[in-house]
Amino acid sequence: MYVVATPIGNLEDLSPRAARLLGEVALVAAEDTRHTSRLLRHLGVAPAVMSLHEHNEAGRVEQIDRRLAAGEDVALVSDAGTPLISDPGFVLVRELRARQRCIVPVPGACALVAALSAAGLATDQFLFNGFLPAKSGPRRTRLEALVEHQASLVFYESPHRIHATLADLARVFGERPLVLARELTKTFETFLAGTADTLIARLEADPDQARGEFVIMVEGAPPRDVSESVTIEADALLSSLLAEGV
């Protein structure tokens, strides 16, 4: 089974290999069949298409495994970007791997990688967090658990929650630098950098900036001062030795 990345906006980002394979496989398992049928029509190919989304994924494993066992090739695609990255496919891939099926990645667009590659934040370490919880309480709890992390933090966000999420980022991360990547590879692609508060002000001043799809990136926490923590530990040890009368 081929795990095929599709564009996140710009159709030219579909690789020639992905285009060829989508025309060669017997079956395409797609998150939204209507959405993928448009892409297949654009390519001028007409494989069979089957829906595979979070609600039917487990049930599709047997069907897809039977097609593979019969010697057919299958492609897994999602609506945009790389399958399994905040998209369906994990259960299928895990189950097929457990059955020793051959799984072949066909790489291409992925919003988190595209965003990081042009944001100007450190990329030697990053922590991808997918979507934050929809409700503010759990969202803030999740953010608070990340505040000491030294890796760059990456989140996906929808236009409905961008204001609320930026407000929670302001509360938890204060003046920490952020980059907002919007509508990547599309006509209105924008990168905005600033603190959460300044980004909220930018979105309020120009509501068009709050439309579309977003990747939010947060600079990692500064490294902890090791000498400071060593001093604290040494002080604690000395106090306990003194308390024991050593």
User: Minimum CB separation from ligand SAM for residue 33, in Å?
Assistant: 16
Span of 22-30, 75-83, 198-206, 236-244 interacting with ligand SAM by CB under 6 A: 75-83
Taking CA atoms, 200 is separated from 173, 214, 215, in Å, by 14, 14, 15
Q: Which is nearer to ligand SAM, 123 or 150 (CB)?
A: 123
Asked if residue 57 binds ligand SAM (CB under 6 A), the reply is no
Asked if residue 214 binds ligand SAM (CB under 6 A), the reply is yes
Residue 98 CA to residue 120 CA, distance in Å, equals 39
Asked if residue 213 binds ligand SAM (CB under 6 A), the reply is yes
Residue 15 CA to residue 38 CA, distance in Å, equals 17
Residue 132 CA to residue 159 CA, distance in Å, equals 13
Q: Which is nearer to ligand SAM, 67 or 110 (CB)?
A: 110
Which two tokens mark 173? Answer: 């991360």
User: Minimum CB separation from ligand SAM for residue 15, in Å?
Assistant: 14
User: Minimum CB separation from ligand SAM for residue 164, in Å?
Assistant: 14
- Could you tell me the sign of the dihedral formed by the alpha carbons of 118, 123, 128, 132, in that order? negative
3-class state of residue 126 by DSSP: strand
Specify whether the CB–CB gap between 115 and 142 falls below 8 A.
Answer: no
Asked if residue 184 binds ligand SAM (CB under 6 A), the reply is yes
Q: Which is nearer to ligand SAM, 160 or 224 (CB)?
A: 160
Asked if residue 195 binds ligand SAM (CB under 6 A), the reply is no
Asked if residue 165 binds ligand SAM (CB under 6 A), the reply is no
Tokens 């039977």 -> residue: 66
Residue 186 CA to residue 10 CA, distance in Å, equals 6
**CA-angle at 74, arms to 73 and 76, nearest 5°:** 155
User: Minimum CB separation from ligand SAM for residue 232, in Å?
Assistant: 40
Q: Which one among 1, 2, 9, 52 touches ligand SAM, defined by CB under 6 A?
A: 9
Q: Which is nearer to ligand SAM, 14 or 181 (CB)?
A: 181
Asked if residue 231 binds ligand SAM (CB under 6 A), the reply is no
Tokens 């658990």 -> residue: 145
User: Where along the sequence are the contacts to ligand SAM (CB under 6 A)?
Assistant: 8-9, 78, 80-82, 85-87, 110-112, 156-158, 181-186, 213-215
